[in-house]
Amino acid sequence: MSARRLPGWAALGLALLAGLLQAASVAWPGTGQPLWWLQLASLTGLAALAHRADGWRRAAGLAWLFATAWLAGTFWWLFISMHVYGGLAAPLAMAAVLGLSAFLGAYYALAVGVWRALRPGPASAPVLFAALWLTAELLRGTWFTGFPWGASGYAHVDGPLRLLAPWIGAYGIAAVAAGIAAALGVAVGGTRSPRLLGAPAAAALLAGIAAVVPVAGGDAGRPLSVALLQGNIPQDEKFEGRTGVPLALAWYGEQLAASSASLVVAPETAIPLLPQQLPEGYFEAMADHFLQGRQAALVGMPLGSYEEGYTNSVVGLQPRAAVYRFDKHHLVPFGEFIPPLFRWFTDLMNIPLGDFNRGAVGQDSFPWQGQRLAPNVCYEDLFGEELAARFADPAAAPTIFVNVSNIGWFGDSVAIDQHLQISRMRALEFDRPVIRATNTGATAIIDHRADVAKSLPRFTRGVLTGEVQGRTGLTPFAWWASRWGLWPLWLLGLAPVLGALVRGRRRAPT
Supply the residues annotated as catalytic. 268, 328, 378
Specify the DSSP class assigned to residue 81: I
Beta bridge partner(s), residue 296: 263
What's the gap between Cα 236 and its chain centre? 25
Under 8 Å between Cβ of 46 and 68: no
Strands 296-305 and 309-317: antiparallel
SS3 328: coil
Locate all alpha helices (DSSP H) within 120-243, ordered by sequence: 125-142, 165-188, 198-212
Q: Single out the residue of 287, 285, 330, 296 nearest to residue 311, CA to CA.
A: 330
**Which long-range contacts (C-beta less than 8 Å, at least 24 apart) are formed by 241-250?**
244/272, 245/272, 245/273, 248/272, 249/273, 249/278, 249/279, 249/282
Please count the residues of the chain: 510
Identify the sign of the CA torsion 421, 426, 431, 437: negative
Q: Alpha-carbon torsion 256, 454, 468, 438, what sign? A: negative
User: CB count, 10 Å around CB of 368?
Assistant: 21
CA distances (Å), 380 to each of 149, 388, 403, 481, in order?
A: 11, 12, 8, 16
CA atoms of 189 and 122, how far apart (whole Å): 12
Angle at CA of residue 312, ends 242 and 92, nearest 5°: 75
88-94 CB contacts, 8 Å cutoff, 24+ apart = 88/348, 88/349, 89/348, 92/348
> Which of 390, 400, 454, 363 lies closest to 220 in space, CA to CA?
400
CB 112 within 8 Å of CB 59: yes
